[in-house]
Amino acid sequence: MEFLEKNLEDIIFETSSDDLGNRGLYVSGKRFRQLRIGNYGIADMVTIDKDYLNYPDSAYSVINITVFEFKKKLINTDTLAQASRYIKGIKRYFYKHEKFINKQINFKIILVGKTISKGDDFTFLSDFIEHLEVFTYEYNFDGIKFNSHSGWFLTEEGF
């Protein structure tokens, strides 16, 4: 059986946050699958949740939006660019609706695929971007497992 991108999307969308967390992928908030973001495209999955912050003299909420991009095989700079386009579309949507003008909105991108491009500088770029997480998946007899990737460096640094 060939493992398809749709299979990956099905598993992540339909599995509870606790079960995903036990397998290495942390998902929180309300999930939206195949979310059309105007002419910016269709995101595989977007989650939205709120954090409520209390201070001695005020309380307010922060909206957290995470764009997930799933690839059956390779994650590369094109994958990151695609997810970035979706973030831009969501930001433009909020900008055009007055009720969101004074809201604090945090954005994050999570890329999930079978492998990560190592032939270009994607790995270094992924370490540099603050609100980006990159995961690979393994699908074995006991189900799916997710591995987080960061902290890239050259094996032969020359100094």
Residue pLDDT, tens place only, 74-97: 999 999 999 999 999 999 998 888
Q: Is 159 exposed, middle or buried (0-12, 13-18, 19+ CB in 10 A)?
A: exposed
CB 65 within 8 A of CB 43: no
pLDDT at 133 > cutoff 70:
yes
Which is higher by pLDDT, 45 or 103? 45
Average pLDDT estimate for 3-11: 87
Counting Cα atoms < 13 Å in the Cβ hemisphere of 70 gives: 22
CB 80 within 8 A of CB 125: yes
Tokens standing for residue 122: 């994607």
- Nearest CA among 109, 96, 89 for reference residue 40: 89
Average pLDDT estimate for 118-122: 77
Residue with tokens 């606790």: 18
Sorting pLDDT into bands at 50, 70 and 90, what band is 57?
low
- Chain-wide mean pLDDT for the chain? 89
Considering the four listed CATH numbers 3.40.50.300, 3.40.1350.10, 3.40.50.2000, 2.30.30.60, the one that applies to the domain covering 5-149 is: 3.40.1350.10
pLDDT tens for residues 60-74?
788 999 999 999 999
**pLDDT number for residue 1:** 55
**Domain spans in the chain, listed from the N-terminal domain onward:** 5-149
Sorting pLDDT into bands at 50, 70 and 90, what band is 58?
low
Non-local (6+) Cβ contacts of 127 within 8 A are: 150, 151, 152
Sorting pLDDT into bands at 50, 70 and 90, what band is 56?
low
- Nearest CA among 117, 29, 106, 115 for reference residue 81: 117
Taking the model in full, what pTM does it have?
Answer: 0.89
The identity of residue 104, as a single letter, is Q
Non-local (6+) Cβ contacts of 27 within 8 A are: 12, 17, 20, 21, 47, 66, 68
pLDDT at 147 > cutoff 80:
yes
Sorting pLDDT into bands at 50, 70 and 90, what band is 128?
confident
